Structure 1
């Protein structure tokens, strides 16, 4: 695994997005929907959180991100940003059988599930690059929040 190359890919992917400040999770979601030309729905997942943090399903008419019920809003955001990163990086999804969809998500109509991102190794190039991009997006969101807290005349007051 070449971490330098993964960092460079994550940086290039973030820069190519041309996100407009202030960057928020919602503005990033809307930007991805526009790029993909389809709705992205984010929902909490009922199930074994110790086994799966987040999943990205390509349904017939939208993308669905399911996330574990996180201990904090920041953790939830990181899970979602990681799944966004897979979309941004155009990581390939695989066909998912209706039987597998039914087994893992009994409330989801298995006939609507077309593709899913399957992970077998959390330290492979795709996972590492996605996490690095998620970290970069999270940093952009934090910087935007900090800039919003600063008074507009900060420089005039404090020089």
Structure 2
């Protein structure tokens, strides 16, 4: 779990966002696109065993967020918010998923992919940080 000062920082980030009440993922994403001046493409997919339940692929021109189709709408929204949290926290990404990314985004040349982040669990600090911010964003939709 992130330290108290980090959690306070994440809460401040969540408060600065224009979160619609009641929460609407499509509307929230549209507002964030306008704020960041770049498109966010939401793409449901069915994850195979050993694959992440969510994935953020950043290119020079857009952000692609893939989220598990075979889950509840609430959990799907939390997966998307987790990937958005990675974006907002400027997390760097991982290597080795370029082949998987090219399967998901055949229209995007692999050389244009700037970063890839997947949602596997919480062993890495960046994953815990993203989950904390995602939870705070969702909590902000109900206050």
Q: Above 0.5 in TM-score?
A: yes
Q: CA deviation at 1:108?
A: 2.3
Report whether the alignment pairs 1:106 with 2:103.
yes
**Worse-superposed segment, 3-12 or 51-60:** 3-12
Partner of 1:25: 25
Distance 1:128 1:62 in 2: 25
| Equivalent in the alignment of 1:138 | 138
**TM-fit CA distance, 1:47:** 3.2
Label 1:23 to 1:76 Cα distance change in 2 as closer, same or farther (>3 A).
closer
Aligned equivalents of 2:90, 2:40: Cα separation in 1 = 15
Deviations 1:136-159 (A, max 9, x none): 121233x27xxxxxxxxxxxxxxx
Q: 1:49 touches 1:69 (CA, 8 Å); kept in 2?
A: no
Q: CA deviation at 1:93?
A: 3.2
Q: Which residue of structure 1 lines up, in the alignment, with residue 91 of structure 2?
A: 91
Instruction: Report if the CA contact (8 A) 1:49-1:68 is conserved.
Output: no
Deviations 1:2-39 (A, max 9, x none): 43233212112112325465543223212221232110
Structure 1: unaligned runs, 5 residues or longer: 145-159
**Which piece of structure 1 moves more, 52-61 or 76-85?**
52-61
Contact kept in structure 2, 1:6 and 1:128, CA below 8 Å: no
What does residue 125 of structure 2 align with? 125
Alignment TM-score, normalising by the size of structure 1:
0.71
Unaligned runs of 5+ in 2: none
Q: How many residues are aligned here?
A: 140
TM-score by length of 2: 0.78
Q: Which is higher, the Rg of structure 1 or of structure 2?
A: 1
Following superposition, which runs of at least 4 residues in structure 1 exceed 3 angstroms of deviation? 18-23, 118-121
| C-alpha contact 1:55 1:117 (8 A) present in aligned 2 | yes
Distance 1:23 1:73 in 2: 12
Q: 1:32 to 1:40 in 2, by over 3 A?
A: same
Which has the larger displacement, 112-121 or 39-48?
Answer: 112-121
